[in-house]
């Protein structure tokens, strides 16, 4: 399904707004850089318009939910890995139990 030009330009404007927000939050930015970033931010917000909400907002939420579930699964698996079946200690345990029962008789 092709993406419309409006959706692409709206996404580009949102990316630019995020970058400008990073400049505004940067403590090393000069006063002139902050003033320019603020003016550019206002101009881009006017271009974006109030009705242009992100179309895939729910997909971002589901993506973060999936990441959280994956992290929880990894934490559960890494805490105690399951014991392997069929290694030599299982056979030694069974052999020792057999000898014990044999000596008791």
Q: Determine the average pLDDT of the residues in 6-13.
A: 75
Phi-psi region of 55 (alpha: psi -120 to 50; beta: other; left: phi over 0): alpha
pTM of this prediction exceeds 0.75: no
As a whole number of angstroms, the distance between CA 94 and CA 82 comes to: 20
Q: Determine the average pLDDT of the residues in 7-27.
A: 85
74 vs 29, which has greater pLDDT? 29
Q: What is the pLDDT of residues 58-100, one digit of tens each?
A: 777 888 888 888 888 887 766 655 666 667 777 788 888 888 8
DSSP secondary structure letter of residue 27: T
For the chain, what is the mean pLDDT?
79
């Amino acid at each position: 399904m092709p993406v419309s030009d409006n959706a692409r330009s709206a996404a580009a404007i949102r990316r630019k707004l995020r970058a400008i927000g990073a400049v505004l939050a940067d403590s090393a930015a000069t006063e002139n850089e902050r003033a320019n970033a603020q003016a550019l931010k206002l101009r881009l917000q006017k271009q974006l318009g109030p009705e242009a909400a992100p179309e895939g907002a729910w997909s971002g939420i589901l993506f973060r939910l999936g990441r959280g579930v994956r992290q929880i699964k990894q934490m559960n698996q890494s805490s105690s890995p399951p014991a392997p079946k069929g290694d030599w200690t299982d056979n030694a345990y069974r052999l020792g139990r057999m000898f014990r029962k044999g000596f008791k008789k």
